[in-house]
Amino acid sequence: MSLEHLGSSLYQALKKIFRASIVDEATVKELVRDIQRALLQADVNVKLVLDISKRIEDRALKEKVPPGISRREHVIKVVYEELTRFLGEKPVPIKIEPGKEKVMMLVGIQGSGKTTAAAKLARYFQKRGLKPALICADTYRPGAFAQLQQLANRINVPLYWNPKAKNPVEIAFEGLKHFSCKDMIFIDTAGRHKEERELIKEMKTLEKKIKPDEVMLVIDGTIGQQAMIQARAFNEATPIGSILVTKLDGSARGGGALSAVAATGAPIKFIGTGEKIGDIEPFVPSRFVGRLLGMGDLETLLDKVREAEIKVPEKKARAILSGKFTLTDWYEQFEAVRGMGPFRKLLKMIPGMSYDIPEEKLNMAEENLEKWRVIIQSMTPKEKENPKIFNASRIRRVARGSGTSEKDVKELLKQYSMMRRMMKTLRRKKKLPFFGKGLPPGFK
Ligand SMILES: Nc1nc2c(ncn2[C@@H]2O[C@H](COP(=O)(O)OP(=O)(O)OP(=O)(O)O)[C@@H](O)[C@H]2O)c(=O)[nH]1
Ligand SMILES: [Mg+2]
């Protein structure tokens, strides 16, 4: 299994980085060599391989590592980002509105997998609640209709064709009329032509006459780098809306095909990963790379890196860690980064902490952010500095001033003092490190 093979060799390469006692120039260079080898084996174009390895090496060695993360983590992030970039931009999703039929025309050379893909796509969108239909506009291939009919019956999707018509344009028109109230219509076209030029000519005529919403080029992934030439040739003839790369399950050249297509700038929207109708998936480069590398926790690592890029002023960090923070400090921490605040970062650094603070507490705090902002704005400076002075009448005043309820104000105060108490308890239990002179990296 090819892509798996590529995935596992990339993973092996990264594993060395994980295991290395130090990550220095030599380790990075070895990693880059391993990645090169893995990509070349997957038939990735040499120029692309050199390009990606140069970028990885440059970034891994020259980029400043944000404080709080290790060089190791940074290198992994760079590899992930560069591989993702090299597989193309995140494709623009196909915009589908129920009832407003979308006409998708599938084109591609003989045997690339168009007919299979038409059925797979119909199934894919049917499962997502849409009403798809199929049109067989292949008048060349004997048995083309029977093949599609068998697939369509299996998934219970209506299919149109006309054995009397000699002309695919005629069939397509009739079919579109026939299916006027469907959400998506997939037109399967012929791939059987003496030469590619003729095929492209027919595709052009079809495109001009039928004016589909999207022309989807189906490319066989087993052809590797050749995919680039094909994608270009089709793209020059008719603007290709999207590409579906098939047979990525069994090919040793899948990586080559994907990267070659991505290099043309044409968006890969789907990939076919098997002969069964369910073997189709939307192509999202970042997710694909994550899975290819076999790193389920990659997102976590990237979050960590993003968090590390957040700077917390030293004084604030000290105040937070000692439990001596005011309401304003407290609020600012949440506000600063919305979602991945220094609070969370600090808490995560503390051993055993992940058990002590329910994640939902932090999430809740983030959800309440907007409300809390108005509440805190309605407080006097004195109240913000020393929330202990809050009594019933102050609470009432703040609630009225901020257009919230007394319950909201009380909740905010409760959360605040809970967080403070927690910090203090942790200190007492010596779970919280005391950073004598220096703070840990990332808190400068
Ligand atoms: N392993 C694997 N086989 C596939 C995939 N997609 C299609 N195939 C197989 O490839 C062969 C050709 O597929 P078709 O869908 O008939 O190709 P086509 O482009 O319609 O062919 P023509 O109509 O002759 O141009 C069939 O045997 C399919 O089962 C895939 O993603 N993985
Ligand atoms: Mg076919």
How would you write the pLDDT of the chain (444 residues) with one tens digit per residue?
A: 467 778 778 878 887 887 788 889 999 999 999 999 988 888 888 988 999 999 999 999 999 887 777 888 888 889 888 988 888 877 666 777 777 789 999 999 999 999 999 999 999 888 878 899 999 999 888 889 999 999 999 999 999 999 898 789 999 999 999 998 888 999 999 987 667 788 888 888 999 999 999 999 999 999 888 888 888 888 888 888 889 999 988 777 888 888 888 888 888 889 998 999 988 988 888 777 776 776 544 555 555 555 555 555 666 666 666 667 777 776 666 555 444 444 554 444 433 333 344 555 555 655 667 788 889 889 998 998 888 899 999 999 999 999 999 999 998 898 788 777 776 766 565 444 443 333 333 333
135 in the same domain as 230: yes
Buried b / exposed e along 259-294 (16+ C-beta atoms within 10 A): bbbbbbebbbbbbbbeeebebbeebbbbebbbebbe
C-alpha 433: how far from chain center = 36
What are phi and psi for residue 168, nearest 5 degrees?
-60, -30
229 in the same domain as 116: yes
Q: 327 is in which domain, residue-wise?
A: 310-428
119 in the same domain as 26: no
What pLDDT is recorded for position 74? 87
In ligand 1, which atom is closest to the CA atom of 138? Answer: 23
For residue 352, being part of any structural domain is answered with yes
Give, in order, the Cα–Cα distances in Å from 419 to each of 324, 325, 343, 348. 11, 10, 10, 14
For residue 443, being part of any structural domain is answered with no
Look up residue 277 and give its two tokens: 């109708």
Closest residue by CA, ligand 1 atom 17: 113
Instruction: Report how far residue 69's alpha carbon sits from residue 425's, in angstroms, rounded to the nearest whole number.
Output: 27
Give, in order, the Cα–Cα distances in Å from 410 to each of 240, 323, 364. 58, 20, 15
**Which of 116, 120, 234, 275 should be mutated for ligand 1, with most atoms under 8 A from CB?**
116
In ligand 1, which atom is closest to the CA atom of 120? Answer: 6
For residue 224, being part of any structural domain is answered with yes
**Which of 220, 223, 230, 246 should be mutated for ligand 1, with most atoms under 8 A from CB?**
246
Closest residue by CA, ligand 1 atom 3: 275
Task: Of 13, 32, 49, 11, give the one whose Cα is nearest residue 256.
Answer: 49
Pairing state between β 102-107 and 184-189: parallel
Strands (E), 109-180: 132-137, 159-160
Inter-residue contact 114 to 107 (CB < 8 Å) = yes
Report the CATH number at residue 190: 3.40.50.300
Ligand 2 ion: nearby residues, β-carbon < 5 Å: 114-115
In ligand 1, which atom is closest to the CA atom of 111? Answer: 21
Inter-residue contact 179 to 101 (CB < 8 Å) = yes
Ligand 1 interacting residues, C-beta cut-off 6 A: 108, 110-116, 138, 141, 144, 191-192, 246-247, 249-250, 272-275, 279
Separation of 40 CA from ligand 1 center, angstroms? 26
Residue written as token pair 């591989």: 83
182 in the same domain as 73: no
What pLDDT is recorded for position 437? 34
**Which of 275, 276, 279 should be mutated for ligand 1, with most atoms under 8 A from CB?**
275
- DSSP tag of 32: H
What pLDDT is recorded for position 258? 86
Q: Give the containing element (helix H, strand E) for 26.
A: helix 25-41
Strands (E), 138-210: 159-160, 184-189
Instruction: Report how far residue 266's alpha carbon sits from residue 78's, in angstroms, rounded to the nearest whole number.
Output: 24
Note the ligand closest to the C-alpha atom of 121: 1
Name the domain boundary from 41, 64, 90. 90
405 in the same domain as 345: yes
For residue 438, being part of any structural domain is answered with no
Q: Is 442 exposed, middle or buried (0-12, 13-18, 19+ CB in 10 A)?
A: buried
In ligand 1, which atom is closest to the CA atom of 116? Answer: 15
For residue 294, being part of any structural domain is answered with no
Total count of domains within the chain? 3
Give, in order, the Cα–Cα distances in Å from 1 to each of 7, 92, 253, 260. 10, 29, 10, 19
First to last CA, the chain: 48
What pLDDT is recorded for position 35? 93
Compute, in degrees rounded to 10, the torsion defined by CA atoms 113, 116, 119, 125. -50
What pLDDT is recorded for position 428? 61
What pLDDT is recorded for position 309? 55
106 in the same domain as 82: no
Report the CATH number at residue 400: 1.10.260.30
Look up residue 215 and give its two tokens: 């022309």
126 in the same domain as 41: no
338 in the same domain as 237: no
Pairing state between β 280-282 and 268-272: antiparallel
Inter-residue contact 58 to 28 (CB < 8 Å) = no
In ligand 1, which atom is closest to the CA atom of 271? Answer: 31
Report the CATH number at residue 31: 1.20.120.140
- Can you give the pTM of this predicted structure? 0.67
Closest residue by CA, ligand 1 atom 29: 275
C-alpha 129: how far from chain center = 23
Look up residue 218 and give its two tokens: 């189906």
Name the domain boundary from 34, 58, 90. 90
78 in the same domain as 117: no
Inter-residue contact 132 to 157 (CB < 8 Å) = yes
77 in the same domain as 165: no
For residue 69, being part of any structural domain is answered with yes
What are phi and psi for residue 240, nearest 5 degrees?
-85, 125
